[in-house]
Chains A and B, each alone.
Chain A
């Protein structure tokens, strides 16, 4: 869905991949950490856990915006959660790189969370700007 929106801005393939990676990180965070599922088993399990992930994306000028929101358990300490390699669930073979990758691939990442109520991740990325080649 995000990729469809994005295509209006005539993005480079890498930019699409960047956004996909960041969105994938945010969504899987919501599933695994927000709702405490080991993995996404489809709508049946989601209904059982009344899991719900809301995603919204939009464009303004050449900035792509996306927000991913869940009504899961929330993050008690956002600063700790965003540290590279930190994971609250080491037993699941998680890398702890989720937020780091979001920050690496997007221009702006904002996290709002209320413990016990849910989490919203908002991300922005400028699309279609030709970066100057680094001189070697």
Chain B
């Protein structure tokens, strides 16, 4: 899947322009395969293209965090605009993920 790019130890996930339940089903599948098969440690979510997101965006981050934190992995979030950041913060994502830009 082109949304996922592996780079050494981490998995980079390119989030789509609109994130809803439908989109995240595919992303989740591809990400989980990569995490388990390629044994990546950290996951980076790139929200650079994202303009709209519902709570499924929160779910996909929390779910990956649960998977990788057990093995010492970290979740990072990059390029989130003010709107997306507001949504992520309202769900408390800053407690489990580090924001990088």
Contacts and interface: CB of A to CB of B under 8 A. Distances in A.
A136 interface: no
B52 A20 contact: yes
B54 interface: yes
Interface residues of A, number: 21
B95 to A, nearest CB: 13
Contacts of A25: 54-55
A28 B56 contact: yes
Contact of A13 (B18, B51, B62, B87): B51
A17 B83 contact: yes
Contacts of A40: 21-22
B90 A100 contact: yes
A39 interface: yes
B59 A95 contact: yes
A21 to B, nearest CB: 5
Contacts of A93: 28, 59, 62-63
A14 B83 contact: yes
A78 to B, nearest CB: 18
Given A14-B83, A17-B83, A104-B90, A97 B18 contact: no
Nearest to B82: A14
Contacts of B18: 20
B21 A101 contact: no
Interface of A: 13-14, 16-17, 20-21, 24-25, 28, 31-32, 39-40, 93-95, 97-98, 100-101, 104
Interface of B: 18, 20-22, 25, 28, 51-56, 58-59, 62-63, 83, 87, 90-91
Shortest 6 CB-CB distances between A and B: which pairs? A97-B55, A17-B52, A24-B54, A95-B58, A28-B21, A93-B63
